[in-house]
Amino acid sequence: MAAVIKQVDFKEAARRHWADAEHLTQSGRHPNVGQLYGFMAECGLKALLVAHGLPTESNGDIRWKPRTGYREHLPALAQLVSTLTVFPDGRAATRYLAMLPDLAHFDDWSIDHRYWTKAAHPLSSLPNWREAARQVGEMIDAATVDGVM
């Protein structure tokens, strides 16, 4: 039987989305930048969940269970993560959650922005989304140094 390739790596995806967002900023592709900041934060939060015991499929994706919300997008995912009960290992993730004071900046972010016209995007939210995504990146770095991720 062939081994299943781990296709999903949330930490790597978070870092890739951050790098692409920063690159697109230089090109003035702001609507896509906003999407990538949100995807970066989502992937970083999911990496934290997995690092703290959330079960995954053999390909690395979060195991699907009805009504858990773990496979949600922002802002619903951020709201779940901000409650400590979402972590399978309880309060061990408190240190990392404390590093994310601005997750609520994604309250006006939507996965559906990918369909919107350029003129309809909430570009005024970009600085807030960037700051919240930056904090997620710092959390990933700290968890990596700590050996958690």
For 10-43, how does the pLDDT look when each residue is reduced to its tens digit (9 = 90+)? 999 999 999 999 999 999 999 999 999 999 999 9
How long, in residues, is the chain? 149
Over 80: is that where the pLDDT of 69 sits?
A: no
**pLDDT of res. 56:** 87
- Mean pLDDT confidence for 80-106: 75
Domains of the chain with CATH codes: 10-57+65-145 (1.20.120)
- What count of Cα atoms within 13 Å lies in the side-chain half-sphere of residue 77? 22
- Mean pLDDT confidence for 123-138: 97
Residue with tokens 């195991």: 63
**pLDDT of res. 73:** 84
**What distances in angstroms separate CA 72 from CA 22, 43, 141, one per listed residue?**
24, 11, 23
For 39-68, how does the pLDDT look when each residue is reduced to its tens digit (9 = 90+)? 999 999 999 888 888 888 888 888 876 556
**pLDDT of res. 57:** 85
pLDDT category at 90 given cuts 50, 70, 90 is: low
